[in-house]
Amino acid sequence: MLTGCAPAAGPPAPPRLSTSPAAHRVAAQQTLDALTEAVTHTDLRAFGTLVSDADPAFATTAAMLWNNLQQLSLGSLELTAGAREAPLPVSRRAQLGETAWAQQVRVRWRLPEEQLPAEHQVWISFVLANNGALVAGTSDVPARDSRGQPLWWLEPVTAARTAGSVAVVGSGGAATDWAARAEVAASQVAARLPRSLAAGWDRRLVVEVPASRRSFERVLGVAAGSYRRIAAVAWAEGPTPKTAAVRIVVDPEAVSSLAGEGLAILLTHEATHVATRSPGSAAPTWLVEGLADYVAYQAYPDTRDAAAATVLAEVSRHGPPRALPDDAAFTPTAAQLDHSYAQAWLACRFAAETYSAPRLAELYRQANSGSTVAEAIRSAFGVDEEQFTAAWRRYLVTLSGQR
């Protein structure tokens, strides 16, 4: 007797993974934790299993990220899936699959030379797989999201370190040269910054030298061309300047025309900002920038006459400025930016020569702590703001007559 037979049962279908935002975030976090573990333990095989091959071109980017992170030998790395996710363009969904999405990710990372971490927000594309989520891209950034990015996220980097705890992250073979320059700058600042302002600084510097101006702008998260007159900047890489790593970021195009001494002054100026953690300072910008130039020109006094020449020529022709430059005069697109820097330096030079360098440091300390400029001037110098400004104006007139 023949009996009917049911078809042989195949293997059970894998469970269908949820595509809700909450499930996406959980899956992304599990993958990010595994990525961090692989980087920390130098496990390239494990890293590779977490990368999707849906976009063949992403293999090059993934390899770059792996190599960069190994080059940097990070002191710490944290990847945290954020609450925001974004749909992908139709073309990218066609390439990566219908389960793909872009997830905002917080990256906190610290070099061994630093006490505080940098923090950035990046976007990572994921695709769902049977065992969770795989990383499929880093370029699917929503429109108008232009926050700063880690340099190692953008391009291949190398790292150079010195015995004096200076680290340079840069492209190509320039890192070693920049490390030597930064070591000199750190020494100059340590020798000349008033002791009361250097008390919290451990003489460590981190310098980032991108390969192009566009990468420089992307590290800062600023509009293209808006910082083209800025050769380097001391930048707090995080949402809260007081708790973020402060690094010197260099525009390679802007510094290409600087001679050796010009580079030395630039780095000494920026290293002063790092030593005083000036990004986010409550002090007026003329005092922040003037102090940095005061330290730099103390280190390289032969350049002072040239630095003052334009301002003093203007004083000879039209008389001294009516007031100290306001904060708006120091925006990167300000019409007379160089002029404002020189005026600020001459104000700090006047204060140091008239009242002493320790009194200048006291002015900065009080203004940095939140005192008004008028209160800080009265406390540090024993005169009111109007008297201080009038004396500075007379000082400029005297200097202009000595040229």
Do both 247 and 293 map to the same domain?
no
pLDDT of res. 286: 98
Q: Model pTM?
A: 0.92
Q: For residues 208, 211, 212 and 215, what is the CA-based torsion angle, rounded to 10 degrees?
A: -60
Residue-by-residue DSSP string for 235-301: EE-SSSGGGS-EEEEE-HHHHTT--HHHHHHHHHHHHHHHHHT-TT-SS-HHHHHHHHHHHHHHHSG
Res. 16: pLDDT tops 60 = no
pLDDT of res. 238: 95
In a domain, 291, yes or no: yes
Q: Which helix (H) or strand (E) holds 132?
A: strand 132-137
Do both 139 and 227 map to the same domain?
no
Q: Tell which residue, 120, 125, 127, 175, has the closest CA to residue 153.
A: 120
Do both 87 and 203 map to the same domain?
no
In a domain, 4, yes or no: no
The whole-number average pLDDT for the span 8-13 is 43
Q: What is the DSSP letter of 142?
A: P
Q: Does the CA dihedral 385-389-390-391 come out positive or negative?
A: positive
In a domain, 327, yes or no: yes
pLDDT of res. 145: 78
Do both 120 and 155 map to the same domain?
no
**Per-residue model confidence as pLDDT tens digits over 90-101:** 999 999 999 999
Q: Which helix (H) or strand (E) holds 123?
A: strand 118-129
Residue with the larger pLDDT of the pair 131 and 37: 37
Res. 7: pLDDT tops 60 = no
Q: What is the DSSP letter of 51?
A: B
Res. 210: pLDDT tops 70 = yes
pLDDT of res. 313: 95
Residue 110 pairs in a beta bridge with: 76
The whole-number average pLDDT for the span 131-151 is 90
Do both 226 and 263 map to the same domain?
yes
Which of 265, 280, 295 terminates a domain? The answer is 280
In a domain, 192, yes or no: yes
78: which 2 tokens? 């944290």
Do both 141 and 168 map to the same domain?
no
Do both 183 and 258 map to the same domain?
yes
Q: Which residues contact 245 (CB under 8 A, 6 or more apart)?
A: 110, 111, 114, 116, 117, 118, 206, 236, 237, 238
Do both 138 and 235 map to the same domain?
no
In a domain, 14, yes or no: no
In a domain, 177, yes or no: yes
Do both 248 and 260 map to the same domain?
yes
Do both 257 and 327 map to the same domain?
no
pLDDT of res. 49: 96
In a domain, 305, yes or no: yes
pLDDT band at 4 (very low <50, low <70, confident <90, very high): very low
Q: Tell which residue, 210, 82, 92, has the closest CA to residue 153.
A: 210
Chain mean pLDDT for the chain: 92
Which of 114, 145, 176 terminates a domain? The answer is 145
**Backbone φ, ψ for residue 321 (5° rounding):** -60, 150
When divided into structural domains, the chain yields a total of 3
Do both 140 and 30 map to the same domain?
yes
- The enclosing domain of 244 has a CATH number of 3.40.30
53: which 2 tokens? 């091959």
**Per-residue model confidence as pLDDT tens digits over 243-253:** 999 999 999 99
Do both 59 and 118 map to the same domain?
yes
Res. 343: pLDDT tops 60 = yes
Q: Which residue has the tokens 């279908």?
A: 13
- The enclosing domain of 109 has a CATH number of 3.10.450.50
Which region among 9-13, 105-109, 297-301, 336-340 has the lowest average model confidence (pLDDT)?
9-13
Which region among 88-97, 193-202, 279-288 has the lowest average model confidence (pLDDT)?
193-202
User: Residue 200 belongs to what domain range?
Assistant: 146-280
How is the beta sheet containing 101-110 ordered, strand by strand? Answer: 76-86, 101-110, 118-129, 132-137
pLDDT of res. 402: 77
Which of 115, 145, 175 terminates a domain? The answer is 145
In a domain, 159, yes or no: yes
Do residues 150 and 109 lie in contact, with contact meaning Cβ atoms separated by under 8 Å?
Answer: yes
